[in-house]
Structure 1
Amino acid sequence: MTDIIKYNEQAFENIKHVNEYGQEFWLARELMTVLEYKQWRRFEAIIEKAKVSCLSSNNTVSEHFANVGKMIKLAKGAVREIEDFQLSRYACYLIAMNGDPRKKAIALAQTYFAVKTRQQELMENYDNLTEEQRRLAIRGEMITHNKSLAEAAQNAGVCTPKDYAIFQNKGYQGLYGGLGAKEIHARKGLKKSQKILDYMGSTELAANLFRATQTDEKLRRENIQGKYAAYDTHFEVGKKVRQTIKELGGTMPEDLPTPQKSVKQIEREHQKKLK
């Protein structure tokens, strides 16, 4: 495992699982590897400390640390069951907080799971959030759903980076009345290094989240094949979202104000508060 993989937040996303109810979870054995623990007994000791922290916070331990067995193959075809745990995001956070702070992977995990846990709390209390908190919550959802959308697009035949750039641009063009990513970028007055999604208010982000989720579902549901068919699908879904906004009397996304603070800036401010 290279340093880039070791200390990249994507490492935690890569081992995340989703059950049939849409709930996220992590497996302790997989998390142990990412956090650079080599011996289960040492990592299990960290888990036990995390359980105590969970209980002390008046949370039900079994809801966050579920015992699950795992079968492994031994020599000559024999098998043996080893202990494992199905962990909630909160459980992973507690494990990271009780881990060895000298490990770079632990330090990264502490920040990652703290921020993600906070995002979940924000989504659950959306109606009571400030505009900045809503932006953070929806942007977090966009990251998750764009990953799923990219997978659906690849399955449809959108394979190269250039293909995917065109695919994404088609979605923007449908939603923004013909404006592509380059035009939206210029309209917002952004620098080349600044990302469009980081400079959207909550209403504009919500429209783009709806575009992404609906395109994802349509590509999968209708088993759309061929990159050009995928391009058309993304454009049409974006166009329908735009039409819905118009019918409801809403403001077109390109006419919505551009926030002064980026989502990244708000995230940094929130991380400072968490620390």
Structure 2
Amino acid sequence: MKSIITKAGQSLFDEIRHEDDQGTEYWLSRELAKVLSYSDYRNFISVINKAMEACLNSGGAIENHFGDVTEMVSIGYGVKREIKEIRLSRYACYLIVQNADPAKEIVAIGQTYFAIQTRTQELQKEEQPQLTEEEQKRLFLRGEMTRHNTQLAAAAQEAGVKTSLDYAIFQNHGYRGLYGGLEAKDIQARKGLKKSQHILDHMGSTELAANLFRATQTEEKIKRERIRGKQNANRVHEEVGAKVRQTIEEIGGTMPEDLPTADSIKHIEKKLNPPARKKKPIE
């Protein structure tokens, strides 16, 4: 497995991080392509284009996150030439790894890294010191799960998962792959949750990140391979879940079913949006 920690103890993604004179951080597209194991930069450009489209669809301004720049590189004998680069924000990097080749192991790691770091940065800018770093991560990842589960449901429906019962079975196949055979009700019991308590609301950031990767890659695989038939969709979901589980095992991580049960995400949301206090009537 490719190591993501350099000799200096930094993440590979941190090592290629730059800051300009104003202290604004950025990444360069060619350096990111290399870290993500894209040997042909032309193939990486198509990934960037998908990320730009995702930025636009989410209401973002492309120019705020993707900027064309020119770099001078040495080609030997003291000669330099200009090359075109794209200056990327942290959010741009996040969108890129979400659209990169899921077969590349480093892409899975990059998705978690940029997802967490992007939201942490946003919350810091919003000056919300009442949230811990773990709470910030959970809040962001839970929101991403909601968004990507909606997209996954649409992809599954296109494949033939039509009824609510079909979708429940489809979701259970994903859980079975990721949780070593456990279905939703089994996970609830293992985590000490009531039937009325949503599993995702009680996951820590590590467990949410694993489930987010399961959801995004299942959606992508169903679309990419034009999966049809609910049995085939179920199979794909379980296979992807199992692959994520295998990756966790290979890097020495804790299996998701063994991770601690977190307090409800709704308690974090209340910190950000406390209920309005009723005014005491004038006597």
Whole-angstrom distance in 2 between the partners of 1:233 and 1:193 = 28
Alignment CA distance shift 1:251-1:143 (3 Å):
same
Structure 1 SS opposite 2:273: helix
Match of 2:145 in 1: 142
Unpaired runs of 5+ in structure 1?
1-17, 27-59, 64-118
Whole-angstrom distance in 2 between the partners of 1:120 and 1:180 = 27
Unpaired runs of 5+ in structure 2?
1-50, 65-114, 125-131, 278-283
- Aligned length, in residue pairs: 168
- Paired residue type of 2:121: N
Match of 1:125 in 2: 121
Q: Deviations over 1:67-99 (max 9, x none)?
A: xxxxxxxxxxxxxxxxxxxxxxxxxxxxxxxxx
Match of 1:271 in 2: 273
Match of 2:56 in 1: 23
- Paired residue type of 2:271: E
- Paired residue type of 1:264: K
Deviation at 1:142, TM superposition (A): 0.4
Whole-angstrom distance in 2 between the partners of 1:225 and 1:159 = 12
Deviation at 1:125, TM superposition (A): 1.7
Structure 1 SS opposite 2:200: helix
Match of 1:5 in 2: none
Structure 1 SS opposite 2:161: coil
CA contact (8 A) 2:201 2:266 kept: yes
Structure 2 SS opposite 1:251: coil
Whole-angstrom distance in 1 between the partners of 2:267 and 2:118 = 17
Q: Deviations over 1:204-243 (max 9, x none)?
A: 0000000000000000000000000000000000000000
With structure 1 as the length reference, what TM-score do the two structures score? 0.56
Match of 2:218 in 1: 215
Match of 1:205 in 2: 208
CA contact (8 A) 1:122 1:134 kept: no
CA contact (8 A) 2:120 2:136 kept: no
Higher mean displacement: 123-132 or 202-211? 123-132
Structure 1 SS opposite 2:194: coil
Whole-angstrom distance in 2 between the partners of 1:19 and 1:148 = 18
- Paired residue type of 1:123: R
- Paired residue type of 1:166: I
1:245 aligns with 2:278: no
Structure 2 SS opposite 1:125: helix
Structure 2 SS opposite 1:22: helix
Match of 1:190 in 2: 193
CA contact (8 A) 1:122 1:133 kept: no
Whole-angstrom distance in 1 between the partners of 2:276 and 2:248 = 36
1:179 pairs with one of 179, 182, 192: 182
Alpha-carbon RMSD across the aligned residues, in angstroms, is 3.0
Deviation at 1:127, TM superposition (A): 11
- Paired residue type of 1:147: T
Deviation at 1:23, TM superposition (A): 3.1
- Paired residue type of 1:234: H
Alignment CA distance shift 1:232-1:274 (3 Å):
farther
Match of 1:256 in 2: 259
1:170 pairs with one of 166, 170, 173: 173
With structure 2 as the length reference, what TM-score do the two structures score? 0.54
CA contact (8 A) 2:116 2:137 kept: no
1:22-171 alignment, distance < 5 Å:
22-25=55-58, 123=119, 125=121, 130-171=133-174
CA contact (8 A) 1:175 1:239 kept: yes
Deviation at 1:266, TM superposition (A): 1.0
CA contact (8 A) 2:120 2:137 kept: no
Whole-angstrom distance in 2 between the partners of 1:212 and 1:126 = 23
Whole-angstrom distance in 2 between the partners of 1:123 and 1:24 = 18
CA contact (8 A) 1:122 1:137 kept: no
Tell me which protein shows more helix as a share of its residues.
Answer: 1
Match of 1:47 in 2: none
